[in-house]
Structure 1
């Protein structure tokens, strides 16, 4: 039979399984017996006529299936963690190779690299400036724009 400590985390799933298997057990019955398997077993026995052993075996099945579900969830979580680690390692390696390639290219062609960086920076700066100016223009009231 399941101990009270084991039951505390499994009550909701046991209650759901009881409602599914024993339609005669109501929500009020479950609320009255909450956390007390002996009382719940007595209610089931009274309403269904099943033996105490059958009811206790059913409770044990419920708890065992919960344990196997928890084990499956844990396996899935550990598999996901491993996949994340693998992906992180691959991304790190790819970034390292990209960095090394960039350093090599810049050391072979320093003037071209500097010119390209300067040109790209100039283009980005102009685009950001235009964007900020356009936003400020939109923020002006119509009479402020009219007076310009």
Structure 2
């Protein structure tokens, strides 16, 4: 049998299922037992003539069967949604990597063309960068 918190947490569903199963139950009948399993069993017995065992089995079935199935279905839906998002992210990352590779290839071609068309200026730039890097490393070691 569910405890008080479980019953309160799923009260609307339990109430609906009880009214569905035993049509003679009213909202007023169920309101008298809200949150209390023992009172709920008593109210259902009194109103329907069902045995205590029958009512307890029905309520246990709600919590062990269908609510578990609903939770399982919800988990499955969330897992599928997460998988879809992961697939989308993977496709996006792949597209961006391809775009970056294309840009990088384009820049490499431009640099090669520039070096071929202006070899002296290119050598001067590389020499200047080398001197700057050497000075930076040399000054960094002195500290």
Question: What's the TM-score, normalizing by structure 1?
Answer: 0.68
Q: C-alpha displacement at 1:103, in angstroms?
A: 2.3
Contact between 1:13 and 1:62, CA under 8 Å: does it hold in 2? Answer: no
Superposed CA offset, 1:55-95 (max 9, x none): 00000111121122111101220221122112202210111
Task: State the alpha-carbon separation in 2 of the partners of residues 82 and 49 from structure 1.
Answer: 49
Q: C-alpha displacement at 1:13, in angstroms?
A: 0.8
Q: C-alpha displacement at 1:12, in angstroms?
A: 1.2
Determine the structure 2 residue equivalent to 1:44: 44
Superposed CA offset, 1:9-66 (max 9, x none): 1111110001111111111112221111211211111111110000000001111211
Aligned counterparts, 1:93-112, within 5 A: 93-109=94-110
Task: State the alpha-carbon separation in 2 of the partners of residues 36 and 96 from structure 1.
Answer: 59
RMSD: 1.5
**Which consecutive unaligned segments of at least 5 residues does structure 1 have?**
111-148
Aligned counterparts, 1:36-115, within 5 A: 36-64=36-64, 65-109=66-110
Contact between 2:11 and 2:35, CA under 8 Å: does it hold in 1? Answer: yes
Superposed CA offset, 1:117-147 (max 9, x none): xxxxxxxxxxxxxxxxxxxxxxxxxxxxxxx
Contact between 2:8 and 2:34, CA under 8 Å: does it hold in 1? Answer: no
Would you say how many aligned residue pairs link Structure 1 and Structure 2? 110
Task: State the alpha-carbon separation in 2 of the partners of residues 40 and 6 from structure 1.
Answer: 13
Task: State the alpha-carbon separation in 2 of the partners of residues 36 and 45 from structure 1.
Answer: 14
In our comparison, the structure showing a higher alpha carbon Rg is 2
Contact between 1:14 and 1:62, CA under 8 Å: does it hold in 2? Answer: yes
